[in-house]
Amino acid sequence: MRSLGKYLIFIYNLFVRRETFRTYVKLSFDEAIKVGYDSLFIVLIVSVFLGAVTTIQTAYNLISPLIPDPVISLVVRDMTILELSPTIIAIVYAGKVGSNIAGELGTMRITEQIDALEVMGINAISYLVLPKIIASVLMFPLLVILSGFCAIYSGFLTSLVTGVISGEDYLTGIQLDFNEFGVVFAMIKALVYGYLVATISAYKGFYTSGGALEVGQSSTNAVTSSCIAILVADYSLAYMLAPFLTPS
């Protein structure tokens, strides 16, 4: 409870006593490139495998003369868009970007770089953290979109290579009963996760105290806490938004 309060004060401090708008635009831009570039590779790999594995496993689960083949790719599509791409990728993203943010800020804290900023009269929280949050909230949805495409395309390639369903059926299936709200839903999730990972990791890193050992701990804590927050948010969002998914 104490740390929740401290977290909220931390968030509040992001938005007071700020530097010029131009400073933030530049910093956020730099951060966005870093965040995107850093996680691109791992996100692509994970997405390709998610798509492939989901296709194969769904195909084996749905072997039945009663179920037409295109349903397989329909299931792959919906799982990818609604859950796999946003949530699994968010967990990967927490491991990559979250630990990075916490490690960087933790090191800056223990080597007095944050103190140096404060002494110059700069609000270190907003100067260091706000650009990371802006970058994360902008870039993570893009990564999720990319991941969705990759996963679904990789499913298609898998069906061609393994022949668990025919390519034509796959393409028919992913266009069947498409509900655009699924994409909106995925983007809402992505925004929330991007925000959670950045703020929680920054919070953990910013309040590191001690030495190199504690920086490592902050990084690990950042990933653990981000993952828990992601899963809780996933459940809450599913509870709140899933009713909109059913065709009216």
Partner 1 sequence: MIEIQNISKSFDGKQVLFEISGIFEKGKCNLIIGTSGTGKSVLLKCMVALLPPDVGNVLYDNRDFTHGDKQLQTDVRREIGMLFQGGALFDSKSVEENVMFPLDILTEMPSDEKLDRVNFCLERVGLENINKKMPSEISGGMKKRVGIARAMVNNPNYLFCDEPNSGLDPQTAIRIDSLIKEITDEYKITTVVVTHDMNSVLEIGDHILYIFEGRKLWEGDNKHIMESGVKELDDFVFANRMMRMVKDRSA
Determine the Cα–Cα distance for residues 84 and 52; give it in Å rounded to an integer. 12
Shortest reach from residue 5's CB to partner 1, in Å: 18
User: Which C-beta is closer to partner 1: that of 58 or that of 99?
Assistant: 99
Shortest reach from residue 136's CB to partner 1, in Å: 18
Shortest reach from residue 113's CB to partner 1, in Å: 5
- Name residues contacting partner 1, limited to 101-130 (CB under 8 A): 107-108, 111-113, 115-116, 118-122
Q: Assign 3-class secondary structure to the chain.
A: CHHHHHHHHHHHHHCCCCCCHHHHHHHHHHHHHHHHHHHHHHHHHHHHHHHHHHHHHHHHHCCCCCCCCHHHHHHHHHHHHHHHHHHHHHHHHHHHHHHHHHHHHHHHHHCCHHHHHHHCCCCHHHHHHHHHHHHHHHHHHHHHHHHHHHHHHHHHHHHHHHCCCCHHHHHHHHHCCCCCHHHHHHHHHHHHHHHHHHHHHHHHHHCCCCCHHHHHHHHHHHHHHHHHHHHHHHHHHHHHHHHHHCCC
Determine the Cα–Cα distance for residues 113 and 125; give it in Å rounded to an integer. 12
User: Which C-beta is closer to partner 1: that of 15 or that of 235?
Assistant: 15
Shortest reach from residue 31's CB to partner 1, in Å: 11
For partner 1, what does the binding mask look like between residues 18 and 47, x meaning CB under 8 A? -x---x------------------------
| Among 13-21, 50-58, 193-201, 216-224, the segment contacting partner 1 (CB under 8 A) | 13-21
13 binds partner 1 (CB under 8 A): no
- Name residues contacting partner 1, limited to 159-218 (CB under 8 A): none
User: Which C-beta is closer to partner 1: that of 23 or that of 179?
Assistant: 23
Shortest reach from residue 194's CB to partner 1, in Å: 22
Site residues (vs partner 1, CB under 8 A): 16-17, 19, 23, 107-108, 111-113, 115-116, 118-122
